[in-house]
Amino acid sequence: MSKFLSSRFDGLEAYVPGEQPQDQQYVKLNTNESPFPPSPAVLAAINADEVSRLNLYPDPEGKALKRKLADFYGVAPENIYLANGSDELLNFFFMAFCDKDRPVAFPAVSYGFYPVYASLYGVPATAVPLREGFRLEPKDYRGIGKNIVIANPNAPTGRTISVSEIEEIVRTNPNNAVLIDEAYIDFGGDSCLELIHKYDNLVVGQTFSKFRSLAGGRLGYGIGSPGMIADLELMRYSTNSYNISRLTMAAAISTLDSHEYYANNSRTVQANRAYTVEELGKLGFETLPSKANFIFTHCKAVDGGTVYRKLKEKGVLVRHWDKPEIADWCRVTIGSRAQMDVFLDKVREILKEAGQDA
Ligand code: PMP
């Protein structure tokens, strides 16, 4: 840290992203990417023609992509905000709606970026404890009188709450901004998108990074009332008006034309999830019910940190956090059936090495 860093960042601890080894030698089940490439139509859309126009800036309004998303979700373009990954949506949500007099609440076990943004903007944050089994209790947010950020499905647990439970949270906090982070909604969960027509305090965040195999393209979006979307646009135009690249916009438009390809991939991921949970169960692992493209799992025989380290030694990357309440657990992205078979084989080896019958 240099002596020039502003004192307003004293104590700021940055988010630590999952490992991204560049040598491809791991079975990579640590950052919830899709195991499938973008659709053939997307590969075709990023062609020499498109590349030859990179001397020109992209459309700062993202009109073509907004129109496409609006038609896809049955909303108006004015309901849509385009972000450089949903992380950027989160950034601008905190920047626009939270401050020291407008504090924020989010689950104590959730996406690690929420407390970082709160800290970045000096926003008092309440980490609401989860209940038994990492269950989020909607009543804990009823009329809480703070801005709220909830991931549904939650990460890293994979657990969901229902649309009516979300509605209760949004309805009972009419003077507060609520962000429902649906990064993982397309793996069997129910989106609360319909609520944006009824409530002006809700933004629903989604991403192309998971279900739509475009993590490297960096595209997220928020859907909400025109007023809140205009506020987010104010943040964007005051930060970086060209936040989505030309190539990403072209890829995203083709992505939306290939919905069946991605829906089919999601069905495969869901089948692989059920298979992995069942096989882990046979090995003595307890796994939380997940509607995401990852599972949160642990076993009594070997602690979470050891499972993570040994898997890494054996060429399989999963995610583990050294936080007391979740140190026993690992989050495992659901990949292809072949990847999950390698993972399960390595888990069997680890149990054997620990003297457990597998
Ligand atoms: N929300 C949650 C809950 C996530 O797990 C992630 C992925 N790490 C994101 C948002 C951000 O994803 P992206 O910026 O790739 O859209």
Q: List the beta strands (DSSP E) in the chain.
A: 27-28, 80-83, 104-107, 125-128, 147-151, 178-181, 202-207, 220-224, 285-287, 294-299, 316-317, 330-333
CATH number at residue 130: 3.40.640.10
pLDDT for the residue numbered 22 = 87
How many domains does the chain divide into?
A: 2
The total of other beta-carbon atoms located within 10 Å of residue 184's CB is 26
Task: Kindly report, residue by residue over 47-84, the tens digit of the pLDDT.
Answer: 999 999 999 999 999 999 999 999 999 999 999 999 99
Domain boundaries, position 30: 7-36+260-351
pLDDT for the residue numbered 357 = 60
Q: 227, 258, 289 — which closes off a domain?
A: 258
Q: 201, 223, 258 — which closes off a domain?
A: 258
Compute the distance from residue 149 Cα to the ligand 1 centre, in Å. Answer: 13
Task: Establish if 240 belongs to a structural domain.
Answer: yes
Which parts of the chain have pLDDT scores under 70? Answer: 357-358
pLDDT for the residue numbered 102 = 98
Ligand 1 site-directed mutation target among 157, 206, 209, 333, most atoms within 8 Å of CB: 209
Compute the distance from residue 151 Cα to the ligand 1 centre, in Å. Answer: 9
Q: Which atom of ligand 1 is nearest to the CA of 90?
A: 10
